A and B are shown apart, each in its own frame.
Chain A
């Protein structure tokens, strides 16, 4: 469990770490997160040299490679502003595993400093921005899928649903086994495709059975997995990153 955090007052500026999945596949989700932050009066700094947090190599056991990639990110946040990450998975990597990865190295202090400033997007919107939302969208039944990293590694099971709960037109439906993994797990999905496939099949069925027209998640890995399953099964249920969903319904 992540220790209880003392949240800072809303800062003038934040750094935004977009994550590689958003950069490559879902850039609009990143832009919508930036728009949400800017609408709250926070200046968003986007370090141009950011690439990937290094997690794919880390979870695959290639820690030397992961450390090199992570080291290339550490210097991108020189000012003491919070670092907002629109993913529990990458956020968890940076907050929890960077200190482990750099323990005993020259970069230990810098890694600990960066880790201490990491905020997952919904966490930042709820606990730092105290975001208030006014829903302008049509009534809709929505299921929230909180990623395992957001839920367990970062202890953020409540922030996503709390934001969706502010949207008057949205009925948040309860899916069976909401806390169970969708089966993505990064390289797990390609190393153990049949098990991963069985997991995402169950997850998609649970969301559909809950009567959701849409599922919303704060992690693009889960979105790619569950959304890709729905699409392959030619189901009408769509997935959307929570940043896009919030921006779309309130702008």
Chain B
């Protein structure tokens, strides 16, 4: 399999390629159909709307108090013996992590799943410094072996089918070619087990950081998260600043929403609560635990009372699973760490609109994402907000605002405004239809690649209503036949 790189700048080309790739289409369709069914079934006996409301309010409350909660989290973590580091951006976070590795003379790092580490390209950074970083989540491991990036935030290798996985493991690790999932999983597990024992440092993400107790919660299914955070002598947890929650009691509802929304599970196989390094007299656990809190544009999002809702996200991936666009083009097409609807509202803040200008428009605004979001992020509204920013009619709070504004399109919408605010002009029948077509965005031609063009009616509704009224007056009767 050839190594491909993806960038949001090439969204259209990448979408074209994905749509023309039957394997990608089939893999995603099958996986997303399965995930949608599982989610629906697992919530069937829950009062989902009440739970979503609760989840949304917990996240809103945490965000409302974010600066205070972060300070509280820091104080409580430090009191527990967890060292807290602050990183303005991904590069700084990478330097901090590398610094911790260097101070221990670490040569190998084992990683639990962390999207923030993907966001800041931690593996490449460590490798440049001569430190090997190995992914231990099975999906991430496969993606790393295949020199790819994750195509889904929960299921990183969802773009691969069994045969492709077998081929990768065969090529890169020498296993037999097989369609036996158990055999392949066992082989990968054995390979990884050795690496866990030899790793100098474990790096994990965080699902919820509890301010009142200084506890780091990690949700996972494979046990690799527990191994990563307990076997190596040093554990570094890295997360975005928005992952903080106020109380321990906030965790169960969010956890209930997260696992059901993500994979349709009632519970995950593992739920880790990390509250300190190894204490005196204890026989296992890391001797040092670090928490790296990464901003990377998040505090800028925080300044805007509308965009702020982006930060509610608990990274379940349900918006991807239910997105008809994501299902068809797959995760890599977006060219961003976070694909799908959440990626389209988050990536512009992380990378700027210049890079990501095609993402907010890559949605039919069907609302499926907002409908399933466990914390009720108004994703369609935020997509529209970013479209405003793209054309320079927003508040200018996003880097690259105005990048999509063209004189031609702006003039077209002014023309639309003029006609739609001059009813007399509007009513000028077929001539109007011609004018309206000229006002559509320049790319009207592709419509007819897939469909016939609609034909403007000979008489408009305005005209027909007038005829109808005249007939009613002359007939004096209501019961009339269709003309």
- Chain A 234-251 interface residues, beta-carbon cutoff 8 Å to B: 247-248, 251
Q: How many residues of B contact A (CB 8 A)?
A: 71
Once A27-B459, A31-B465, A195-B15 are accepted as A-B contacts, the answer to whether A190 and B452 lie under 8 Å apart by CB is no
Q: Which of B19, B370, B389, B393 has the most CB of A within 10 A?
A: B393
| A52 to B432 CA separation, bound complex (whole angstroms) | 13
Among A1, A148, A152, contact of B49 (Cβ-Cβ < 8 Å): A1
A198 adjacent to chain B (CB < 8 Å): yes
Q: Is the CB of B361 within 8 A of A152?
A: no
- Chain B 425-483 interface residues, beta-carbon cutoff 8 Å to A: 426-427, 432-433, 436, 440-441, 443-444, 446-457, 459-465, 468, 478, 480-482
A180 adjacent to chain B (CB < 8 Å): yes
- Which of A62-70, A108-116, A161-169 lies at the interface? A62-70
Give the chain B neighbours of A189 by CB distance below 8 A: 364, 447
Name the distance in Å between A144's Cβ and chain B's nearest Cβ. 16
Among B367, B417, B433, B453, contact of A24 (Cβ-Cβ < 8 Å): B433
Give the chain B neighbours of A199 by CB distance below 8 A: 324-325, 328, 364
Give the chain A neighbours of B482 by CB distance below 8 A: 32, 35, 247-248, 251
Name the distance in Å between A31's Cβ and chain B's nearest Cβ. 5
* Binary per-residue interface labels of chain A (169-195) against chain B in the complex, 1 for a CB within 8 Å, 0 otherwise: 000000000011101111111111111
| A9 to B65 CA separation, bound complex (whole angstroms) | 46
Question: Size band of the A side of the interface?
Answer: 35 or more
Name the distance in Å between B50's Cβ and chain A's nearest Cβ. 12
B384 adjacent to chain A (CB < 8 Å): yes
Among A1, A31, A194, contact of B464 (Cβ-Cβ < 8 Å): A31
Q: Is the CB of A148 within 8 A of B367?
A: yes
B421 adjacent to chain A (CB < 8 Å): yes
Once A51-B419, A57-B417, A199-B328 are accepted as A-B contacts, the answer to whether A191 and B361 lie under 8 Å apart by CB is yes
Give the chain B neighbours of A69 by CB distance below 8 A: 416-417, 420-421
Name the distance in Å between A179's Cβ and chain B's nearest Cβ. 8
Name the distance in Å between A173's Cβ and chain B's nearest Cβ. 20
Among A1, A191, A198, contact of B443 (Cβ-Cβ < 8 Å): A191
Label chain A's interface by main secondary structure.
Answer: helix
Name the distance in Å between B372's Cβ and chain A's nearest Cβ. 10
Q: Is the CB of B325 within 8 A of A195?
A: yes
A229 adjacent to chain B (CB < 8 Å): yes
Q: Is the CB of A148 within 8 A of B328?
A: no
A105 adjacent to chain B (CB < 8 Å): no
Among B370, B390, B420, B464, contact of A54 (Cβ-Cβ < 8 Å): B420
Give the chain B neighbours of A148 by CB distance below 8 A: 364-368
| A249 to B177 CA separation, bound complex (whole angstroms) | 61
Q: Is the CB of B460 within 8 A of A181?
A: no
Give the chain A neighbours of B370 by CB distance below 8 A: 152
A58 adjacent to chain B (CB < 8 Å): yes
| A234 to B125 CA separation, bound complex (whole angstroms) | 55
Among A34, A152, A196, A201, contact of B465 (Cβ-Cβ < 8 Å): A34
- Chain B 373-424 interface residues, beta-carbon cutoff 8 Å to A: 381, 384, 386-391, 393-394, 410, 413-414, 416-417, 419-421, 423
Among A31, A57, A71, A229, contact of B450 (Cβ-Cβ < 8 Å): A229
Q: Is the CB of B464 within 8 A of A28?
A: yes
B362 adjacent to chain A (CB < 8 Å): yes
Q: Is the CB of B462 within 8 A of A48?
A: yes
Q: Residue on B with the closest CB to A183?
A: B364
| A185 to B323 CA separation, bound complex (whole angstroms) | 13
Q: Is the CB of B19 within 8 A of A25?
A: no
Among B361, B420, B457, contact of A192 (Cβ-Cβ < 8 Å): B361
Give the chain A neighbours of B417 by CB distance below 8 A: 57, 65, 68-69
Q: Is the CB of B413 within 8 A of A185?
A: no
Q: Which of A1, A187, A195 has the most CB of B within 10 A?
A: A195
Q: Residue on B with the closest CB to A27?
A: B461
Q: Which of B423, B427, B461, B464 has the most CB of A within 10 A?
A: B461
| A50 to B482 CA separation, bound complex (whole angstroms) | 24
| A84 to B12 CA separation, bound complex (whole angstroms) | 39
Name the distance in Å between B359's Cβ and chain A's nearest Cβ. 11
* Binary per-residue interface labels of chain B (68-89) against chain A in the complex, 1 for a CB within 8 Å, 0 otherwise: 0000000000000000000000
Q: Is the CB of B457 within 8 A of A27?
A: yes
| A60 to B414 CA separation, bound complex (whole angstroms) | 13
Q: Is the CB of B436 within 8 A of A24?
A: yes
A137 adjacent to chain B (CB < 8 Å): no
Q: Is the CB of B426 within 8 A of A188?
A: no
| A200 to B481 CA separation, bound complex (whole angstroms) | 35
B121 adjacent to chain A (CB < 8 Å): no
B16 adjacent to chain A (CB < 8 Å): yes
A61 adjacent to chain B (CB < 8 Å): yes
Q: Is the CB of A60 within 8 A of B421?
A: no
Q: Is the CB of B452 within 8 A of A228?
A: yes
Give the chain A neighbours of B426 by CB distance below 8 A: 51-52
Give the chain A neighbours of B420 by CB distance below 8 A: 20, 51-52, 54, 69, 72
B167 adjacent to chain A (CB < 8 Å): no
User: Assuming A62-B410, A232-B452, what are 8 further A-B pairs, CB within 8 angstroms?
Assistant: A48-B462, A52-B426, A64-B393, A190-B447, A225-B451, A231-B451, A251-B481, A251-B482
Residue pairs across A and B with Cβ atoms less than 8 A apart, 24 shown, are A23-B462, A25-B456, A31-B461, A31-B465, A34-B468, A35-B482, A58-B384, A59-B387, A60-B413, A61-B388, A61-B389, A62-B393, A68-B421, A69-B421, A148-B366, A187-B441, A188-B363, A190-B441, A193-B449, A197-B450, A200-B451, A228-B452, A229-B450, A251-B482
Question: 3 closest A-B pairs (Cβ-Cβ)?
Answer: A185-B364, A228-B451, A193-B446
